[in-house]
Amino acid sequence: MLAIGAFLVVCVLLPLYSMLSKSFENADGDFIGLANYADYFSTPALFLSAINSLYVSVTASVIVLVTAFVYGYALTRSCMPFKWFFKLVALVPLLTPSLLSGISLVYWFGKQGVAKELLFGELIYGPIGIIIGSAYWVFPHALMIVITALTITDARLYEAATALRTGTLRTFFTITLPGCKYGLISAGFVTFTLIFTDFGVPKVIGGNYNVLATDIYKQVIGQQNFEMGAVVSMILLLPAVLAFTVDRVVQKKQVALLSAQAVPYRPKPKRKRDLCMLVFCSIVAALILLMIGMAQYAALITFWPYNLEFTLANYDFDLANGGGWDSYFNSIRMALYTAAFGTVIIFFGAYLVEKGRRFIAGRSIFHAIAMLPLAVPGMVLGLSYIFFFNNPSNPFNFIYGTMAILVVATITHFYTVSHLTAVTALKQMDAEFESVGASLKAPFYRTFARVTVPVCMPAALDISMYLFLNAMTTVSAVVFIYSSDTTLASVAVLNMDDQGEIAFAAAMAMMIAYTCAGARILHALLTRSIMRTTQAWRTS
């Protein structure tokens, strides 16, 4: 309990604190109060970035929300054919780093893009690119929330409406929309936060259009101005925390809507609606496939746009300046460590929160800290790790620059969602297993190993999958803390793009995508075989 609590304090609270204090210091480490903040707000260029961030985040969120809602509606409330296909395609963006959409957009609409005429002279480098690219990669995140919200509606409400002869439109506005209101709000905030704090897309496609996330990067990497980086981080943190808080409140309400006796809704075929939905989903799916398809195409082309012959040369990463095959294998190692250690740590943490009977205050504080990482943007976390772990007087200083700090940062960054998954799985178990075990004189670890772990195995697999995928694709959490020995594939994509080696970047991004797709398939097979062998009790 204490050990895991200490893990969270060291990995979340202390780094954030050190960043907060850094933002009040000058380059020599003297306390200068709010001077940095005053500086920030009196520099119009910096202040403008905040406005830009807000603008692209809100615009892209609205687009994503509307698209995800219709798409989710089609998947849950219509009888259109090929639902499994559309579900699958919608999840594709999860397999790739957010950078990939930026790269793909360059090929589509860049200076030599195939379809740049579609922009009527506008440049893709700027808000347009950021909005399209962001919309692409956050789409599945929004969709999953929307689908959940649409699935939990009680069918009897609709039967009642039909019995009262309510029209389709009225039913939609009085039952469907209110029913998933909280889901939509939640999806909106999640989308907003993801885009607001994302760094990959604006870095690749943003051009001269500055946003907060790229500002931090420039302040820290470009100008080595750590104090100003800290200030911008604090400003980035604010709306994220705000959105997070609102989201938590809203989600609590959503749960309250669920009644145990709800009857699940089963859509009935309606030709016209189903056809419209099919067309809409086909367009969205096509856009997604075009996006990743272009990246794949780019990875295989000799020299865009002059030599369109296919080649595998772009996969010869050791020739690139931005990073070699080493970074790819580092990424795999990092993702495996994250999945393995992360699952164990997170599961134990959730077990203690859920099954402990003493230290009620301690457990709820632990739970609250476990919620925090969700609100902390990856860049902010990464930067705070520099401040905290790079400090020679810190006893944990030795992990700085190693693989360990990358693993720790990634586990921390993705802690919250995994923690909630584990808690949910544990909540579904009978509360008295431990009591029964004790009465039968079985030590608690025996009951844990023989009952708790097997029963929670599917959830544990899900968590490790989630951690693996995110560890493979994350850029923001690690971009400040990797070292020359621990370069990563996702960072390599970034650096290759930075160096103009965009074909290499596309190829590396696709390597990540193949790996993630492979991992997902493996996960599906593994889950299936475990379900068959050790989870026979679930069926029947």
Partner 1 sequence: MTADAKHAPTPYLRLFDVTKRFGDFIALKDISLEIYEGEFVCFLGPSGCGKTTLLRAIAGLDIQTSGTVEQNGQDVSALPPYERDFGIVFQSYALFPNLTVAKNVAYGLENRKIAKRDVRQRVAELLQLVGLPDQGDKYPRQLSGGQQQRIALARAIATSPGLLLLDEPLSALDAKVRVHLRHEVKQLQRRLGITTVMVTHDQEEALTMADRIVVMNQGVIEQIGTPEDIYRKPSTSFVADFIGTMNFVAGTAVGPDRVRCGDNVLACETSDMREGDVVTVAVRPEDIVLREGVSESEENVFSVRIDAMEFLGSYVRADLALEARGDQILRADLSINLVRRMQIAEGDERFVNIPKERIRVYQGTVNRDV
Any contact of residue 451 with partner 1 (CB under 8 A)?
yes
- Among 311, 394, 402, 535, which residue interacts with partner 1 (rule: CB under 8 A)? 535
Distance CA 93, CA 138 (A): 8
Any contact of residue 443 with partner 1 (CB under 8 A)?
yes
Nearer to partner 1, 246 or 451 (CB): 451
Find the shortest distance in angstroms from Cβ 524 to partner 1: 21
Distance CA 425, CA 353 (A): 13
Any contact of residue 521 with partner 1 (CB under 8 A)?
no
Nearer to partner 1, 159 or 432 (CB): 432
Question: CB atoms < 10 A from the CB of 398, how many?
Answer: 11
Distance CA 419, CA 350 (A): 6
* Residues between 355 and 374 with contacts to partner 1, criterion CB under 8 A: 357
- Among 454, 498, 526, 530, which residue interacts with partner 1 (rule: CB under 8 A)? 454
Nearer to partner 1, 162 or 428 (CB): 428
> What one-character DSSP code corresponds to residue 263?
P
Is the sign of the CA dihedral 412, 414, 417, 419 positive or negative?
negative
Dihedral pair phi/psi, residue 79, rounded to 5°:
-110, 30
Find the shortest distance in angstroms from Cβ 434 to partner 1: 9
- Among 114, 257, 442, 526, which residue interacts with partner 1 (rule: CB under 8 A)? 442
- Among 368, 430, 500, 524, which residue interacts with partner 1 (rule: CB under 8 A)? 430
Distance CA 337, CA 314 (A): 28
Any contact of residue 435 with partner 1 (CB under 8 A)?
yes
Q: Where are the alpha helices (DSSP H) in 428-452?
A: 433-439, 444-447
* Candidate ranges 51-59, 227-235, 428-436, 521-529; the one touching partner 1 (CB under 8 A): 428-436
- Are 385 and 373 contacting, i.e. CB atoms less than 8 angstroms apart? no
* Residues between 302 and 361 with contacts to partner 1, criterion CB under 8 A: 357
Any contact of residue 436 with partner 1 (CB under 8 A)?
yes
* Tokens standing for residue 493: 């994509």
Nearer to partner 1, 42 or 439 (CB): 439
Query: Across the strands, what pairs with 301?
Result: 310
Checking 83-92 for CB contacts under 8 A at 24+ apart, the result is: 85/285, 86/281, 86/285, 89/285, 89/288, 89/289, 90/139, 90/140, 90/143, 90/284, 90/285, 90/288, 91/140, 92/140, 92/288, 92/289, 92/292
Query: Across the strands, what pairs with 303?
Result: 307
Any contact of residue 170 with partner 1 (CB under 8 A)?
no
Total residues binding partner 1 (CB under 8 A): 25
* Candidate ranges 105-113, 193-201, 295-303, 424-432; the one touching partner 1 (CB under 8 A): 424-432
Any contact of residue 222 with partner 1 (CB under 8 A)?
no
Nearer to partner 1, 62 or 530 (CB): 530
- Among 122, 159, 316, 432, which residue interacts with partner 1 (rule: CB under 8 A)? 432
Find the shortest distance in angstroms from Cβ 455 to partner 1: 5
Return left, alpha or beta for 207; rule: phi > 0 is left, psi -120 to 50 is alpha, else beta.
Answer: left
Footprint of partner 1 (CB under 8 A): 357, 430-433, 435-443, 446, 450-451, 454-455, 534-538, 540
